[in-house]
Amino acid sequence: MVTNLTLDDAGFAVLDGSTEALELPSHGRMMALRRNSPYWTEPAMIGQGDEVPEDTILLLWERHDPAAPFGAILPLASGKRRASLAGGDGGLRIVVDGPSDAPAEPVAAIGAGSNPRNLVAELAARASARLGTFKLRSEKPQPAWADRLGWCTWNAFYHEVTAERVFEGLQRLHEQGIHPSLLILDDGWLQHTDQKLTHFEPDPTKFPDGLKPMIDRCKSEFGVEQFGVWHTLQGYWHGVHPDSPLADHYRIVNRPGNTLDIENPGDWLKGTLSTVHPDDIGQFFDDWHGYLADSGVDMVKVDNQGGIMYFGGNETQGGYNRVRLAHAYRNALHASGTKHFNGEVLNCMSMNNTLATAAFQGNATRNSDDYFPARVRYQGKHIHTNAKNGLWTDCFAVADWDMFQSDRTEAHMHAVARAISGGPVYLADKPGEHDGNLARTLADERGHVLRYNAGSGMPTNDRWFDNPEVESVLLKIQNTQRDAKGNVLVGAIALFHCGWEGNDSTPTHEIEAGRAEMPANEAPAITDHWSPQDIEGLEGKRFAAWSPTSQNLIVLHVDSSQEITLKGDEAELFNLTPIQNGFAPLGILDRLSGGAAILDRSHHSCVIGSAGRFGAYVEFAPKRIEVDGKNWQFTYDTKTKLMIVDLNSSQSFSLSIFAS
């Protein structure tokens, strides 16, 4: 595995020094998840250890061992120290950030396995048991808000959000038959001076009646079931203003920003940063969240979490240790979030191991940099990045692939990506700019979505080391729906053309302002192949595969290979169900993630967790069917063997088919 590094019996590296070189045995290609800022990670496909980017938080590589063809190193953070990986002239090395006299702690978990998802999950599980500072995604409650179709105000209004614009946005969505049951009021609602929070209450010029009347109307008139608001981990981008009324209740410590010799934090973290003292941060969140909960807020999206490292100042000059400061803030946030919002917290700008290894609570994390609708060459990159980032995020929390806008030319590709992601689905449409037909492929009339329950959608095993942004291959992402025992009921595979070619000279701000069109993607079409064997855990010899986009049913043998051709920014998704006893339930036919509606199955029966147009492949002509013990109408095509049943209620159903 790692030939010159001493590991303990559990596969952990424990170092006393601040850096140590690693020597990997003969290996193939590599993929590094590297932090490209204090907030986000992205994949880098490389060939050698000396090419590993600085601040890599997960490294995956090919091994020449058929029994365990993948190797992985997961750097950790504990106590006062944080580890990462980096290459360079001296080869691959573990780099440990923190005081040299800190007690020796495990700095990395290392292992090998047959597939990346299970391998990295096992490393994280061992780290959780050893460190005792965090829980795994599978050990924490699922976020209820992630099961609702959402609408976020950010791309719709940016900082110019007001109460009246929120009402207008909801009204226009409803006019198109789109019924979000989750609303996230993003940045733009707070009172601040010099990028520092001054009050808990909203800006009175934008929300003259406060939050509660607006939230009450959103819920009573527009059917919003959960209302969320945005804030940063520090209050606002530069913290809490030391001359505001809040400073009368919480100690504020001023520190010069950007004093550390680490990544560029961006312009919003330059200048003086004003931090609530770590001893007061618990009371700060408790008071603020208590006010929000009394106003009707049900969840919070908390941004700028990775920026907390800048708010402590330089430890050698009297500042706070970054690891301990991050843990204090993160623990206080989630203690308050659990008390006031039943744990409904979306962690954002938080993709680093310092924060991930301090999370006993909170089970949703943004999985990539923002969705930027006007950035040329970005749409395929966004999906590719999320698919591979999920290998790390999925260990700690539900991976959120961010919002998107339903009316843009690449919207179908983003909709397919959110459907296969296993995570939340929420729109950021501007009022009146919607594709209602596309939105209805993602949610039912109540604004509820179906999510595959195996975790985050991830690349198929043959795509981990490819770069579909520049290579002539399609990105293939797979996910599964499993029963209570972990058996795969339905497998899903989605294919994406992530490449881009064309005229990219149009300034992004001109496209964003609506003064210019997004340039056309002129990338050549790519022909590739997919197979039932691409989907982890999908067992059987024959499968029924349904395309929600083309409304087409095909029957496949386990060894078959299907050819597909996609143009730039195109995507396709298939739900595959094993054919057993001549029967294969397909799910809700008009929903992209319709296979996730299947909760259980037996001989000629299944349990369905959503209303809609249900379909099944049935090799014998049904004589009758029962739904919840009652005879039910159905249609059956003797040529395609597709049976369709209209389930017109929101409850779960038990369906049985009878041949005589």
> Rounded mean pLDDT of 242-247?
97
Model pLDDT, residue 52: 94
Model pLDDT, residue 3: 43
453 has a pLDDT exceeding 60:
yes
> Rounded mean pLDDT of 385-397?
97
Gap between the Cα atoms of 490 and 544, Å rounded: 10
Model pLDDT, residue 10: 62
Q: Where are the domains of the chain?
A: 12-132, 139-366, 479-658
**pLDDT band (50, 70, 90) for residue 362:** confident
Q: How confident is the model over 475-500, as pLDDT tens digits?
A: 999 999 999 999 999 999 999 999 99
Model pLDDT, residue 361: 85
**pLDDT band (50, 70, 90) for residue 263:** very low
Lowest mean pLDDT among 7-16, 215-224, 262-271: 262-271
Q: Are 543 and 584 in contact, with CB atoms under 8 Å apart?
A: yes
What are the b/e assignments for 39-62, b being 16+ CB within 10 Å?
bbbbbbbbeebeebbebbbbbbbe
Strands 56-63 and 27-35: antiparallel
Q: Where are the beta strands (DSSP E) in 76-211?
A: 77-78, 81-86, 93-97, 106-113, 149-152, 182-185, 190-193, 196-202
Model pLDDT, residue 625: 94
Question: What does the mean pLDDT of the chain come to?
Answer: 91
Amino acid at 496: F
Q: How confident is the model over 52-67, as pLDDT tens digits?
A: 999 999 999 999 999 9
> Rounded mean pLDDT of 336-361?
93
CA-based angle 418:136:416, to the nearest 5?
10
Selected residue with higher pLDDT from 179 and 6: 179
319: β partners: none
- Secondary structure (DSSP) of 428-477: -PPTT---HHHHTTTB-TTSBB---TTSS-EE-TTSTT--TTTSSS-EEE
Gap between the Cα atoms of 413 and 400, Å rounded: 16
Q: What percent of the chain has pLDDT over 90?
A: 76
With residues binned 3-state (H G I as helix, E B as strand, rest as coil), the percentages for the chain, rounded to 5, are 25, 30, 45
Model pLDDT, residue 270: 66
> Rounded mean pLDDT of 417-438?
97
Helix (H) or strand (E) holding 587: strand 583-588
**Residue whose C-alpha is closest to residue 292's, from 205, 215, 208:** 215
Residue 172 burial by Cβ neighbours in a 10 Å radius (0-12, 13-18, 19+): middle
Measured between alpha carbons, how far is residue 49 from residues 61, 70, 72 in Å?
Answer: 10, 15, 12
pTM of the model: 0.95
Q: H-type helices in 344-459, by residue range?
A: 353-356, 379-396, 411-421, 436-439
Gap between the Cα atoms of 82 and 38, Å rounded: 13
Q: How confident is the model over 112-161, as pLDDT tens digits?
A: 999 999 999 999 999 999 999 899 999 999 999 999 999 999 999 999 99
Model pLDDT, residue 258: 53
Long-range contacts of 621-630 (CB under 8 A, 24+ apart): 621/659, 622/657, 622/658, 622/659, 623/658, 623/659, 623/660, 624/658, 625/655, 625/656, 625/657, 625/658, 626/655, 626/656, 626/658, 627/653, 627/654, 627/655, 628/653, 628/654, 629/654
Segment of 250-259, 271-280, 435-444 carrying the highest mean pLDDT: 435-444
Model pLDDT, residue 565: 98
660 has a pLDDT exceeding 50:
yes
Amino acid at 422: G
654 has a pLDDT exceeding 60:
yes
Q: How confident is the model over 534-549, as pLDDT tens digits?
A: 999 999 999 999 999 9
> Rounded mean pLDDT of 506-534?
88
**pLDDT band (50, 70, 90) for residue 257:** low
> Rounded mean pLDDT of 592-602?
97
Domain 139-366 sits in CATH at 3.20.20.70
Amino acid at 5: L
> Rounded mean pLDDT of 459-481?
98
Model pLDDT, residue 260: 44
**pLDDT band (50, 70, 90) for residue 78:** confident
How many CA atoms, within 13 angstroms, populate the side-chain half-sphere of residue 329? 30
> Rounded mean pLDDT of 579-597?
97
254: β partners: 274
